[in-house]
């Protein structure tokens, strides 16, 4: 694949040179190519080249039925797979005006929040590793394994589950589910203090992240940076609060907002969000009502003609699903508003003037997952 880089060649000063980070690189999380223009160690500008994992999901959706589309959404942001599934299922259910049973809503919320914790754990371990604290990688993964074991027992797979389906769930949760989740919460409350001891309180880490990669709140809104990255700048964008779905309007939790907008703020937002997720799960796990695990759906799901938009809070930001339906069983056009795509567009702006080492820290704190960018 021969690609010609048409960079605007205005005045290249003598000491400016280009460095290529990726597509295979230990710290761009996935296949992303960043062409960084440097002067010494200072980043002048940055051009991301995406598309290495573009699979044409939106085109495929035009030929797939709605239950089949749920399986495709797993593969976009695979670390918050359940939440992606939730978006499509909610869209279909709201379009058809179906009321899912209470049990389904409880379970979906609990599993979404568990998924959020697992995703943030993976973020933490790779962020520590990028900064050089290699031990963090193993601690984060060890705790994430506990969640993945719970998922495997109930849903059958560790990473790409496709557990939700329009109307409810594919099957009921395992009898051990509640007990194991409660054990996990107790275990993780202790472990998260270890995380703070190891990385958050470390002076080296704080020196490398405070004041680095500042994103003002106006820029966050302009670039569409949502999720923990946006909330670290003070942009109140939590879809669970502004457009609640599932059980989110019935549980008590805080939207974490910080106003400095630097890497450390984005880091702290995610650390607090893990605690908030545990709070949500604790409020729900003991009260799951008995009932069906799925509403009665027709064999072939056809959405009435029209346009529908559904927003959910994925682990990395606001995921939007926009469907134009012409009354058939496959959508006419399906568009995924992916959070990572917008988050990446801010990378150029906030890494200018920093060093390469800062670029790695900033990329880690924006926490982009490339398959979601490329779809």
Partner 1 sequence: MDNTTLKEKIQGLLPGAEFQENKQFITFIIPADQMHDLALKLKNEPDLAFDFLFCLSGVDMVKYMEVVYHLESTLHRHQLVLKVRMYDREHPAADTVCDIWKTADFHEREVFDLLGITFNHHPDMRRIFLDDNWKGHPLRKDYVDEVNIVEL
Partner 2 sequence: MAFSIYDFTSFTRSIDTFLYDNLSPFWALIVEMTIIGLLVLVFYALVGLFLVYAERKVCAFMQNRIGPNRVGPYGIIQTIADLFKLLMKELVYIKNADKLLFNIAPFIVIIASFMAISAIPFAKGLHAIDFDIGVLYVIAVSSLGVVGILLAGWSSNNKYSLIGAMRSGAQIVSYELSVGLSLLTIIILAGTMQFSAIVEGQADGWFIFKGHIPAFIAFIVFLIASTAETNRGPFDLAEAESELTAGYHTEYSGIKFAFFFLAEYMNMFIVASIAATVFLGGWMPFHVGDWEGFNRIMDFIPPIFWYFGKTAFVIFMMMWFKWTFPRLRIDQLLTLEWKYLLPINLVNILVMAFIVLMGWHF
Which residues would be at the binding site for partner 2 (CB under 8 A)? 17, 19, 25-27, 41, 128-135, 137-139, 142, 198-199, 202, 204-205, 207-208, 355-358, 360
Nearer to partner 1, 138 or 309 (CB): 309
Cα angle 293-252-141, degrees, rounded to a multiple of 5: 70
**Distance between CA 242 and CA 223 in Å, rounded?**
19
| Shortest reach from residue 28's CB to partner 2, in Å | 10
Q: Is 329 helix (H, G, I), strand (E, B) or coil?
A: coil
Using the rule CB under 8 A, which residue among 35, 96, 160, 324 binds partner 1? Answer: 324
Binding to partner 1, residues 325-364 (CB under 8 A): 333, 335, 337, 341-342, 344-345, 349
> Taking CB under 8 A as the criterion, which residues in 284-313 touch partner 1?
306-309, 311
Strand-pair category, 306-314 with 168-169: unpaired
Q: Residue 89 or residue 110: which is nearer to partner 1 going by CB?
A: 89
Q: Residue 207: which of partner 2, partner 1, none does it interact with, CB under 5 to 8 A by kind?
A: partner 2
Query: Smallest distance, Å, CB 45 to partner 2?
Result: 17
* Helices (H), ranges, 248-322: 263-285
Closest to 164 in 3D by CA, of 374, 312, 375, 325: 312
CA distance 16 to 7: 13
Which partner, partner 1, partner 2, none, binds residue 25 by CB below 5 to 8 Å per kind?
partner 2
Is 51 an interacting residue with respect to partner 1 (CB under 8 A)?
Answer: yes
Cα 147 to Cα 77, 100, 117, 312: the distances in Å are: 18, 26, 9, 22
Measured distance CA(211)–CA(365) in Å, rounded:
13
Asked if 374 touches partner 1 (CB under 8 A), the answer is yes
Distance, in Å, from the CA atom of 148 to the CA atom of 115, rounded to the nearest integer, reads 9
Q: Is 224 in the site for partner 1 (CB under 8 A)?
A: yes
Tell me which of partner 2, partner 1, none is bound by residue 30, counting a contact when its beta carbon lies within the kind-specific cut-off of 5 to 8 angstroms: none
Rounded to 5°, angle at Cα 292 from 288 and 296: 140
Question: Please, which residue, 51 or 133, has the CB nearer to partner 2?
Answer: 133
Q: Indicate the DSSP class of residue 79.
A: G
Give dist(CA 47, CA 8) in Å, integer.
11
Q: Is there a cis peptide before residue 23, judged by omega within 30 degrees of 0?
A: yes
Judged by CB under 8 A, which of 18, 242, 250, 259 binds partner 1?
242
Q: How far is the CB of 1 from partner 2 (least distance, A)?
A: 22
> Shortest approach of partner 2 to residue 205 CB, angstroms?
5
- Residues 105-144, mask of contacts with partner 1 (x by CB under 8 A): ----------------------------------------
| CB of 347 vs partner 1, minimal distance in Å | 11
Cβ proximity to partner 2, 40 vs 175, nearer residue: 40
Structural contact between residues 275 and 124, judged by C-beta atoms closer than 8 angstroms: no
Of 140 and 331, which has the nearer Cβ to partner 1?
Answer: 331
d(CA 214, CA 362): 9
d(CA 313, CA 243): 10
Residues that bind partner 1 (CB under 8 A): 1-4, 6, 50-51, 54, 56, 58-59, 63, 219, 221-224, 226, 235-237, 242, 306-309, 311, 318, 320, 322, 324, 333, 335, 337, 341-342, 344-345, 349, 374
């Amino acid at each position: 694949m021969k690609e010609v880089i048409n960079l605007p060649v205005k005045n290249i000063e003598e000491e400016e040179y280009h460095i290529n980070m990726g597509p295979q690189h230990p710290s761009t999380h996935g296949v992303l190519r960043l062409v960084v223009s440097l002067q010494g160690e200072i980043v002048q500008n940055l051009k991301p080249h995406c598309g290495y994992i573009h699979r044409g999901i939106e085109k495929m959706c035009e030929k797939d039925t709605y239950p089949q589309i749920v399986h495709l959404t797993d593969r976009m942001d695979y670390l918050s797979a359940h939440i992606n599934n939730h978006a499509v299922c909610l869209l279909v259910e709201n379009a058809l005006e179906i009321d899912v049973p209470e049990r389904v809503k409880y379970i979906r919320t609990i599993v979404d929040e568990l998924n959020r914790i697992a995703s943030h754990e993976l973020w933490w371990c790779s962020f520590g590793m990028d900064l050089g604290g290699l031990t963090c990688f193993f601690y984060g993964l060890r705790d994430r394994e506990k969640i993945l074991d719970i998922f495997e027992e109930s849903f059958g797979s560790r990473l790409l589950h496709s557990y939700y389906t329009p109307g409810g769930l594919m099957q009921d949760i395992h009898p051990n589910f509640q007990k194991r989740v409660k054990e996990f919460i107790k275990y993780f409350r202790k472990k998260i203090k270890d995380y703070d001891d190891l990385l958050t309180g470390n002076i080296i880490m704080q020196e490398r992240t405070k004041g680095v990669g500042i994103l003002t709140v106006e820029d966050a809104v302009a670039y569409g940076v949502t999720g923990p990255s946006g909330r670290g700048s003070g942009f109140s964008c939590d879809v669970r609060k502004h457009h609640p779905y599932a059980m989110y309007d019935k549980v008590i939790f805080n939207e974490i907002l910080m106003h400095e907008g630097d890497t450390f703020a984005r880091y702290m937002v995610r650390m607090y969000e893990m605690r908030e997720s545990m709070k949500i799960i604790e409020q729900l796990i003991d009260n799951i009502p008995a009932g069906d695990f799925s509403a009665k759906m027709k064999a072939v799901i056809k959405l009435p003609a029209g346009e529908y938009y559904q927003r959910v809070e994925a682990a990395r930001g606001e995921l939007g699903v926009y469907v134009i339906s012409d009354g058939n069983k496959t959508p006419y056009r399906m568009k995924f508003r992916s959070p990572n795509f917008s988050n990446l567009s801010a990378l150029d702006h906030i890494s200018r003037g920093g060093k390469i080492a800062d670029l790695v820290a900033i990329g880690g704190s924006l926490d982009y997952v490339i398959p979601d960018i490329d779809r």
